Amino acid sequence: MKRITNIISASALSILSLLTIDTKAQTPFSDPANKQGWVLNNAVSDEFQGTSIDKDKWIVQGENDNYENNFKGRAPSQFVPHAVSVANGKLVITTRWEPSYDFIKGKHKGLYFENITTGAVITKKKFKNGYMEIKCKPADGPLSSAFWFTGKGGELDLFEIFGKYPKDKKVEQLYHTSFHNWGLDTKDPLYGKTSWENKVQLPKRLAEDYHVYGCEWGEDFLKIYVDGQLVRCITKDEMGEENWVMNNEQKVWVDNEVFPWKATPKKEDFPKEGLKFEIDYVRVWQKEGTTDIGCQATENIIPNGSFENGLDDWNVLGKVKVVQAKKDIIDGKKYVKLSAGKEATVSKVIALKPHTTYILSAYARSPFTNMKDVWQNGWLGVKAFGTGQQPIIKYFSNEWNRQSILFTTGANANKTYIYFTNKWQKKEVHVDHFELIETINENKTVDGK
């Protein structure tokens, strides 16, 4: 059965170095011909061509002891004005090991502010709906470089990129986007928590080079891009009214943060010059009087990707079975269970085109993960597509969650091997709704122009 999904459409560009790409034309990198009629909003955009930050546009956290939203940084790090600089056409946010700095007294979430200084800038103006884009190179260290947006009741983190993550090197290739709900009562356990997220593993470490990250925020959809390529489109209906938090005007944030629950940098992690988040530009476009292009229907290349026909066309290793369920399921009425105790894998060989970019996705859950101190994992992977790479992404949540791998086939490739496995822990995991989608250019007309 042919399945049509309205998840994604994208350009056929591969992920590439942007050092030689001219992005100064000031049209969205995903729509260089500006077929959608975007107009740059200068009040929340900046090319950083001066010698200092433009104080008419930006708030610098900690300047004159003022902190937007009373956010002083994630302890042990603290936002300080001297971490923010502009030179050579770039905004630079530098995180340093500075134990002699006069840190704020007191604690943030149980930790003292000490040793680490960092920086953040926030636009003074707000906007609602549009296309947001940044060209940047994240800091190459064990901390998060982020491009995000906050307003009444909601937060969109387009990315929080770890330059280095020793616990799991694959995290250094992860493009992670999320919504956070600040519209609840402060006593609600879900206040400020992640209401939705998207994870895409890209081919290389993201801190190695400059890339262009973008998103289109519509009234009822969100599109996520990297290097002009659409990697996810989701509608408000798909996400659920309770999870959609982007209903009000937003400010732009750019910062470096320490996430102590993931990794706390040590003195030896800092070069003499500090860890630098380099931003070539921040741009926000809006439009009037034109029709939004929402999420377009795209064919899933994988037959029986949701196992409604059982394990037809799938290969299995170990104890793998199809489970029929009446509720708590992603698509249809069935999912696949990989049992604990021994290695279990479900796999398939798929015919592909050479030199073509694809996105492989699946939903999975680990039912016995408790999200505290018991973490049981499953892995989605792809290999044998003509480049020698074998990308793999890890799942650990006890709720259904979707993750993706972006890959480009080699010049002589005509097939690939996709799989989901519990191989490295041999614990029970569930998987459903495999998708393999060839990327296309949504801004081309029918004749390809």
Alpha carbon distances (Å) from 312 to 302, 383, 421: 12, 21, 18
Q: Above 80 in pLDDT, residue 74?
A: yes
State residue 13's pLDDT score.
36
Ordered DSSP codes for 69-92: GG---STTEEE-GGGEEEETTEEE
pLDDT at 444 over 80: no
Express each pLDDT in 220-272 by its tens digit: 999 999 999 999 999 999 999 999 999 999 999 999 999 999 999 999 999 99
Q: Do domains 39-286 and 315-438 have the same CATH topology?
A: yes
Radius of gyration of the chain (CA): 22
Q: How far is CA 296 from the centre of its chain?
A: 20
Confidence grade of residue 441 (pLDDT, cut at 50, 70, 90)? low
Confidence grade of residue 288 (pLDDT, cut at 50, 70, 90): confident
- C-alpha span between 218 and 278 (Å, rounded): 28
Reported as a pLDDT band with limits 50, 70 and 90, residue 126 is very high
Which burial class, exposed, middle or buried, applies to 223 when counting CB atoms under 10 A from its CB (0-12, 13-18, 19+)? buried
For residue 409, pLDDT over 70 is answered with yes
- Residue 249 identity (one-letter amino acid): E
Indicate if the pLDDT at residue 347 is higher than 90. Answer: yes
Share of the chain above pLDDT 70, in %: 92
Given a contact cutoff of 8 angstroms between Cβ atoms, the answer to whether 394 and 170 are in contact is yes
Residue 368 has pLDDT above 90, yes or no: yes
Mean pLDDT of all residues belonging to the chain: 92
Answer whether residue 314 shows pLDDT above 60.
yes
| Mean pLDDT confidence for 6-14 | 37
Residue 334 φ/ψ, nearest 5 degrees: -135, 155
Q: pLDDT at residue 405 above 50?
A: yes
CATH topology (fold) of 315-438: Jelly Rolls (2.60.120)
Tell me if the domain spanning 39-286 has CATH number 2.60.120.200. yes
Q: Is it the case that residue 447 has pLDDT exceeding 60?
A: no
- Where are the chain's structural domains? 39-286, 315-438
Looking at residues 95-121, what average pLDDT do you find? Answer: 97
CA distance 368 to 378: 12
Q: Are 66 and 121 in contact (CB under 8 A)?
A: no
Give backbone dihedrals phi and psi of 19, rounded to 5 degrees, phi first.
-65, -25
pTM of the full predicted structure? 0.91
DSSP sequence for 206-236: GGGS-EEEEEEE-SSEEEEEETTEEEEEEEH
Is residue 211 a contact partner of residue 227, using CB atoms and an 8 Å limit?
yes
